[in-house]
Amino acid sequence: MGFKKVFATAVSAAFILGSLTACAAPAESVDGHDEIHLENGWVRVSEYSAEAGGMTGAFAEISNHTANDVTLVGGSSPSAMMVEVHEVVMVGGEMKMQAKDGGIVIKAGETITLEPGGLHVMLMGLKAPLLGGETVALTLDFDGADDITVEWPAKASLAGDESYAPKG
């Protein structure tokens, strides 16, 4: 066998093996988790987060790459006394924010979006004012998957405003 044939065979084999290895490698995950991916996470800064005792929402895209449904049931944060999952629903002709009974289900193979004016994670009883540019540590608690700890930027919302005003 001539040098050109050996070289061409070696290059072809290396290319095929490299391609197979790339196909077999697990997808890179956000935040180090292979099964549940969190992307574009952020925490809202508003007049309601500008003082201790205030509240705010956290938002992201959550993808479930498992074979089973998982449920986001709550969380914890060193920045807040309480972390719950919430929804915004129409009640008596008015939009109302409330705790999401049973949590937020992410079906197997699907992605949900936590967003202002819809499903979101609520941080209540802020321990200090939350200012734009800060980073917020947050652990999201899941049923059916491991809990995930993230650090998301605090920033102002551009759309989907909802009121976090305490009832009074």
Determine the residue type at 76: S
Tokens of 70: 């998982």
Give the span between the Cα atoms of 45 and 57, in whole angstroms.
Answer: 8
Overall residue count recorded for the chain in this entry: 168
The predicted-structure confidence for 51-108, as pLDDT tens digits, reads as follows 999 999 999 999 999 999 999 999 999 999 999 999 999 999 999 999 999 999 999 9
- Per the listing, tokens 């491991």 go with 146
For the chain, what is the mean pLDDT?
81
The predicted-structure confidence for 34-49, as pLDDT tens digits, reads as follows 699 999 999 999 888 8
Give the span between the Cα atoms of 126 and 58, in whole angstroms.
Answer: 13
